[in-house]
Amino acid sequence: MKLRLGPLVVLVGLALLVSSTALFQVKQTEAALRTRFGEIVGPQYGAGLHMKWPFIDRVRSFERRIVTQNYSAETFLTSENKGLLADFYVKWRISEVAQYYRATGGIEETAAQRLGDIVKNGIKGVVAKRTLQEIVVAERAEFTGDMFSSASEAVKDLGIELIDVRIKRIDLPDEVSGSVYQRMQESFRALANRLRAEGAAEAERIRAEADRQRTEILATAQRDAQRIRGEADGTAGKIYSDAYGKSPEFYAFYRSLQAYRTSLVRDGDVWVLTPEGEFFRYLNSADGKSANGR
């Protein structure tokens, strides 16, 4: 009985070995290819459990998530034939696994190197069209936007989708940084002087306009005030005339009291007047008549 179980155990072990080598699993974040003697066979495999021919088929798995690749500073020449140092990073992911395998052999370092060369050529073209000052003051998104579309088309041959390209830092070589900063200062100084001159001219115009409006407002106000004052004086004169016409004697008495009030104000004042004068008319007699009977 034991002799019969021996071959059965061997067969079961071989079956398990064959089944284990014939099955492979692909993770959710991966894509896989099945190759036979270096040639791709079968379609691209997604996440799940799949089968292959044991011992003769090999499975290559590739990362499907976005990969961030940093690149060290490179020297690029501007339209003025002046160098600048720029380092950048690239975000990419595999779009066509079969094409990626054929172009790079499935080696991520090779893909990163070829991708970096393509992006560097695009940056060189962008830098060569601009002066050093234009590059320094430009927005980084504007700087990389011109070359992103051309680089995206170029990397499709690698089976790669280009997600983003960003310049991290732009430095100037020591031999040109001083002259560049000096030219930038002169340019910004000229711009500041122009803006100050425009501001001063605008301020002068505003002051002149304000002075003109002030003069017009004051002239209009004075004209209206004189007109209203004249109308009021006329109305007051008419009222006084009507009131005084009803009692001329009372009006004369009232006017005399006003004259006394304004004249006899301060202590120590000395008057030299004749007692028979008209000024003392109401001080000489109760009925307001002077000594000569008037």
Q: How confident is the model at residue 81 (pLDDT cuts 50, 70, 90)?
A: confident
89 pLDDT above the threshold of 80 = yes
Q: Is 80 exceeded by the pLDDT of residue 151? A: yes
Residue 209: the pLDDT is: 93
**Cα within 13 Å of Cα(43), Cβ side:** 4
> According to the per-residue pLDDT averaged within each range, which of 2-11, 14-23, 193-202, 267-276 is highest?
193-202
pLDDT digits (tens, 9 = 90+) for 201-242: 999 999 999 999 999 999 999 999 999 999 998 888 888 777
* Average pLDDT for the chain: 79
State the pLDDT confidence band at 102, using cuts at 50, 70 and 90: confident
The radius of gyration computed from the CA coordinates of the chain, to the nearest angstrom, equals 53
Band of pLDDT at residue 122, cut at 50, 70 and 90: confident
Q: When comparing pLDDT for 249 and 100, which is higher?
A: 100
Q: Is the pTM of this model over 0.75?
A: no
Can you name the residues that pair with 25 across neighbouring β-strands? 49
Q: pLDDT at position 202, please?
A: 93
Question: Bridge partners of 63?
Answer: 30
Which residues, in sequence order, are CB contacts of 35 under 8 Å at separation 6+? 41, 57, 58, 59, 60
Instruction: Give the SS3 label for residue 210.
Output: helix
Q: What would the mean pLDDT of 83-91 be, rounded to a whole number?
A: 85
Tokens of 214: 């002030």
Q: Are 135 and 143 in contact (CB under 8 A)?
A: yes
Q: Look up the CATH architecture of domain 67-172.
A: 2-Layer Sandwich (3.30)
Q: What is the pLDDT of residue 167?
A: 80
Q: What is the pLDDT of residue 41?
A: 84
Let me know how many helices (H) and strands (E) the chain has, helices first. Answer: 8, 8
Using the predicted structure, report yes or no on whether residue 187 has a pLDDT greater than 70: yes
Per-residue pLDDT band for 281 (boundaries 50, 70, 90) equals low
Q: Tokens 């997604």, residue?
A: 46
Residue 53 pLDDT exceeds 50: yes
Task: Say yes or no to pLDDT of 45 above 90.
Answer: no
Domain boundaries, the chain: 10-63, 67-172, 247-284
